[in-house]
Amino acid sequence: MAPMSSFETIQTSVEGAVATITIDRPKALNALNSQVLEEVVAAAEGFDADENIGAIVLTGSEKAFAAGADIKEMQTKSYPGIRMERMFEDWERLAKLETPLITAVSGYALGGGCEVAMLGDILLASESAKFGQPEITLGIIPGMGGTQRLTRAVGKYKAMDLILTGRTMDAEEAERSGLVSRVLPVEGFQKEVAKVAQKVAGMSQVATAAATKMVDAAYETTLTQGVATERDTFWALFATEDQSEGMDAFVNKRKPEWKNS
Ligand code: DAK
């Protein structure tokens, strides 16, 4: 990956086993252009490959996680050019990370911003978060999974309401609808996010990778097949050192020391 210091649209930091990627285009409310995509994916995949990292946080500023794809960059695109360059297809790579990805939204998460937030495994929102898919107001539709992931998260009728009217919903409605994992106070938001991330990063990485894979499988398989695969994966974890360590630590009333193997 490009050296971390050469990133221009994001900032990265590491605290213990938690890596944080912060989208940083304040003048455009963190609108997602091609450079943001390249840098976020490069940083996330770099952290994913780093065995010292147990959780990745993707966040923005207090005012905006991201106000959508960069409309000024998209404005002059035409078909088939947009298709041939496979614009924005690579955002999907975030859904394939093995390391748990926590998306932390304060302020606007609109259009592509909402879709990127939904690529995470855990979605944390500050009380100021505003979610929406306003593409319809631009004469287009969501194109990075909004019609699919939002519908799976909140159901057909709430998704249609948001996608057909372009309205935004606040954090409280988003939590009630099943879009967000937790709503946290605006003050100290990033600190609380870090606590959740540290908690996840403190687990066996073999177990977290298996858990995220299996929960994601719930969207792709039938119940019978999903439950069968879960059981196989569960059995397979009994071949890991971390299963022995976790259970021994419980029985002997001590903290486990994960080997991630
Ligand atoms: N793109 C470019 N610039 C943006 C932007 C955006 N999405 N959102 C905000 N900005 C810029 C504004 O133009 C303004 O820049 P200057 O005029 O100062 O140069 C600056 O950020 C501050 O914005 P405002 O002055 O508008 O700030 P306000 O607080 O008044 O309003 C707002 C905040 C978030 C309500 C407003 O900025 C807004 O409505 N923004 C647009 C929201 C939106 O429509 N988002 C959806 C974009 S469409 C694809 C897949 C998916 C997509 C695209 C392609 N492919 C597979 C190819 C996704 C599409 C989208 O996300």
pLDDT in tens, 137-149: 999 999 999 999 9
Distance CA(67)–CA(108), nearest Å, equals 6
Beta-strand ranges (E) seen in the chain are 10-15, 18-23, 55-59, 64-66, 101-105, 108-110, 122-126, 130-132, 168-170, 182-184
Reported as a single tens digit per residue, the pLDDT across 38-48 is 999 999 999 99
Please tell me the residue having the least CA distance from ligand 1 atom 57: 87
Residue 163 · residue 147 · CB < 8 Å: yes
Distance CA(105)–CA(15), nearest Å, equals 19
Mutate to test the pocket of ligand 1, among 25, 33, 71, 84 (most ligand atoms within 8 A of CB): 71
HSE-up (13 A, CA, CB side) for residue 174: 32
| Separation of CA 146 and ligand 1 centre (Å) | 16
Distance CA(198)–CA(204), nearest Å, equals 12
Question: Please, which pLDDT band fits residue 206 given cuts at 50, 70 and 90?
Answer: very high
Distance CA(243)–CA(193), nearest Å, equals 27
Query: 252: Cβ–Cβ under 8 A, 6 or more apart, which residues?
Result: none
Whole-prediction pTM value? 0.97
| CA-based nearest residue to 205, from 249, 246, 259 | 259
Reported as a single tens digit per residue, the pLDDT across 54-69 is 999 999 999 999 999 9
Query: 38: Cβ–Cβ under 8 A, 6 or more apart, which residues?
Result: 90
Catalytic residue among 60, 107, 112, 246: 112
Please tell me the residue having the least CA distance from ligand 1 atom 17: 28
135 catalytically annotated: yes
